[in-house]
Amino acid sequence: MKTLKLLPILFIFGCGDNDKGGGGGDDGGGGFPNPPGLGAQIDRMGRPGINTVLNAPLEADETKKTAQKDAYNQAENAAEWGATEVATGVTVVAEFSKALAIFDIVDKGDGTIPDPDGCGNGALYMTPPSQTSYAMLAGVLADDQLYVDTGKGDCTFYLSLEVEAATGGAITHTACGGRTLTQDVIDVSYSLLGAGLNGFDATAGFAPRIKDNAAVHADVDNDTFPFLGDPH
Question: Per-domain residue ranges for the chain?
Answer: 3-208
Number of residues in the chain:
232
* E strands, the chain, in order: 3-6, 85-87, 90-91, 146-149, 200-201, 207-208
Helix (H) or strand (E) holding 161: helix 160-166
Per-residue confidence (pLDDT) for residue 150, from 0 to 100:
94
Per-residue confidence (pLDDT) for residue 62, from 0 to 100:
95
Q: Are 40 and 21 in contact (CB under 8 A)?
A: no
Q: What is the mean pLDDT of the chain?
A: 84
pLDDT of 22 higher than 50? no
Q: Which of 219, 139, 129 is nearest to 182 (CA)?
A: 219
pLDDT of 11 higher than 50? no
pLDDT of 66 higher than 90? yes
| CA–CA gap between residue 179 and residue 163 (Å, rounded) | 13
Per-residue confidence (pLDDT) for residue 29, from 0 to 100:
55
| CA–CA gap between residue 192 and residue 104 (Å, rounded) | 9
Across the range 14-30, mean pLDDT stands at: 43
Per-residue confidence (pLDDT) for residue 54, from 0 to 100:
96
Q: Are 141 and 47 in contact (CB under 8 A)?
A: yes
| CA–CA gap between residue 175 and residue 158 (Å, rounded) | 8
The gap from C-alpha 155 to its chain's centroid, in whole angstroms, comes to 18
pLDDT of 33 higher than 80? no
**How many CB atoms lie under 10 A from the CB of residue 112?**
15
Give tens-digit pLDDT for 71-109.
999 999 999 999 999 999 999 999 999 999 999 999 999
Give tens-digit pLDDT for 130-148.
989 999 999 999 999 999 9
Give tens-digit pLDDT for 161-220.
987 887 778 888 999 999 888 888 999 999 999 999 899 998 998 899 999 888 777 788
| CA–CA gap between residue 117 and residue 111 (Å, rounded) | 9
